[in-house]
């Protein structure tokens, strides 16, 4: 398996990064849990047989240009043939700014972009299909996305500020901390955050905290025992409970497996 990230130079305010993933014959058949990153995505899946993506409430089959929003818990990926992928990880508010739709309707869903927004599909799909180096695709996609209309209002600015606050603290904050920093009522924050991001602020904070912990662990920055203390888990049983919530398996089950894809995207 080959996995690489590309940083956005011209559009970092709407794009967190680009990435490529190649599944080679030695990787097939491939199956893995996927931990959500707190981002929404476009991904171009070049494959003979569609990927099988299974959430607790449904299964999707990925091929071509796919859009997917937020997920709170991990989901299952199954691949049966060699394939390549090139994706865009958006800032959490970007899809709302591009689509101007309630993002909660895309939570736990992987859908064909052509059926969701034909204009955006026709703008960027030809770039994904080009047989050029991915570093050149990055530049073309940045330009194309920057030329699309981006919707912003007072609430997108408030939620952008909230996301920045959550990320700066690695999810080690509460909704109350946010309300003490940003001038918005709790009810309005809940409504606007879910509409613009796709999850409630409480769920996003909890996910981002766990994602940050796993990222540090897989990057070998800190030992797991230290991370459990660092990320404010009361004790190991509290951590195990959260681990099962997000990964749908115990830490013991997780550490017994290879988890090659997860390790690669968490290490970067």
Q: Where are the domains of the chain?
A: 2-146, 154-267
CATH no. for 154-267:
1.10.10
**Is 90 exceeded by the pLDDT of residue 247?**
yes
Fold topology of 2-146: Jelly Rolls (2.60.120)
Q: How many residues does this entry show for the chain? A: 268
Q: How far apart are the first and last CA of the chain?
A: 15
Q: How many CB atoms lie within 10 A of CB 253?
A: 13
Report cis status (omega within 30 of 0) of the bond before 188: no
What's residue 119's pLDDT? Answer: 97
Alpha carbons 81 and 212: distance in angstroms, whole number: 31
Q: Does 2-146 match 154-267 in CATH topology?
A: no
Q: 69 to each of 1, 37, 132, 160, 224, how far by Cα in Å?
A: 25, 11, 27, 17, 29
pLDDT band at 222 (very low <50, low <70, confident <90, very high): confident
The mean per-residue pLDDT over the stretch 63-68 comes to 97
**Is residue 45 pLDDT above 90, yes or no?**
yes
């Amino acid at each position: 398996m080959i996995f690489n990230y590309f940083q956005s130079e011209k559009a970092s305010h709407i794009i967190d990064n680009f990435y490529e993933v190649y599944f080679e014959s030695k990787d097939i058949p491939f199956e893995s849990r996927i931990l959500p990153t707190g981002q929404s995505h476009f991904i171009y899946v070049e494959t003979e047989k569609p990927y099988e993506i299974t959430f607790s409430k449904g299964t999707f089959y990925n091929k071509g240009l796919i859009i997917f929003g937020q997920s709170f818990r991990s989901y299952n990926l199954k691949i049966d043939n060699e394939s390549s992928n090139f994706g865009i990880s958006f800032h959490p508010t970007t899809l709302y700014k591009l689509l101007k739709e309630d993002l909660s309707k895309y939570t736990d869903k992987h859908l064909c972009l052509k059926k969701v927004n034909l204009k955006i599909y026709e703008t960027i799909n030809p770039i994904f299909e080009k047989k050029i180096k991915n570093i050149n695709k990055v530049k073309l996609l940045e330009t194309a996305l920057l030329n699309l209309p981006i919707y912003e209002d007072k609430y997108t600015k408030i939620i952008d500020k909230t996301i920045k606050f959550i990320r700066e603290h690695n999810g080690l904050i509460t909704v109350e901390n946010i309300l003490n920093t940003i001038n918005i009522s709790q009810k309005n924050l809940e409504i606007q955050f879910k509409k613009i991001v796709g999850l409630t602020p409480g769920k996003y904070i909890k996910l981002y905290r766990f994602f940050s912990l796993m990222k540090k662990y897989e990057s070998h920055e800190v030992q797991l025992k230290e991370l459990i203390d660092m990320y404010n888990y009361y004790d190991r049983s509290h951590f195990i409970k959260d681990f099962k919530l997000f990964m749908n398996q115990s830490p013991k089950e997780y550490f017994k497996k290879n988890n090659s894809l997860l390790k690669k995207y968490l290490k970067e």
